[in-house]
Amino acid sequence: MTARLVLFFGTLCLLSSCIVSRGIIDHPDPGTPGIIIEKETTREHYWDSVIFPAGLYLPEAKSPEGVYYAAPTPLITGGVLKNGREHGGLFINKEGAQGMWVGQLGYQLQQAPGTILGKHGVETPILRALKTPVPYKKARR
């Protein structure tokens, strides 16, 4: 009986630590405008570079820190997986700092309400701070 209690509480602690270690990723607020990157832009982050395609980036998700804008076509990351093209985009935090992100936030958010952990179970994407910002303008709603 004692071993079962230890196992139960150990599992409970592990599960709660997983919840705490992940940020809450949610759908963007209704009416959040997209952003426009007018020309293809290459930017460096701390270990590589990424090519942001030109076009309209729509808000795909938000966190307490900022908004994840999805590129109109895959980012070119130079990686060997997926031929160096990945779903992702530009992350802009509340202070205006930028990062590149890759992941499947939209798909995960569609599946999240049906999971035990809900939106806490959405994995945060790979996020890398950019060395120089990407010029953009806000799109009309």
- For the chain, give every domain's residue range: 25-138
Task: Judge whether 135 and 41 are in contact, CB under 8 Å.
Answer: yes
The pTM (predicted TM-score) of the whole model is 0.76
- Chain length of the chain: 141
Q: What pLDDT is recorded for position 114?
A: 52
Walk along the chain (141 residues) and give the pLDDT tens digit of each residue: 554 433 333 433 333 333 333 468 888 999 999 999 999 999 998 778 999 999 999 999 999 999 999 999 999 987 655 568 999 999 999 999 999 999 888 777 777 665 545 555 566 688 999 999 999 999 986
- Tell me which H or E stretch contains 13: helix 2-21
pLDDT of residue 140: 87
Helix H or strand E segment including 34: none
Distances (CA, A) of 17 to 58, 105, 120, 122: 32, 21, 11, 14
Please give the Cα distance from 117 to 129 (Å, whole number).
Answer: 28
Query: In this structure, is the dihedral angle defined by the CA atoms of residues 75, 97, 123 and 119, taken in order, positive or negative?
Result: negative
> 67-81: string of b/e by CB count within 10 Å (b at 16+)?
bbbbbeebbbbeeee
pLDDT value of residue 17: 33
Phi, psi of 77 (to 5 degrees): -100, -15
How high is the pLDDT of residue 26? Answer: 87
pLDDT of residue 75: 95
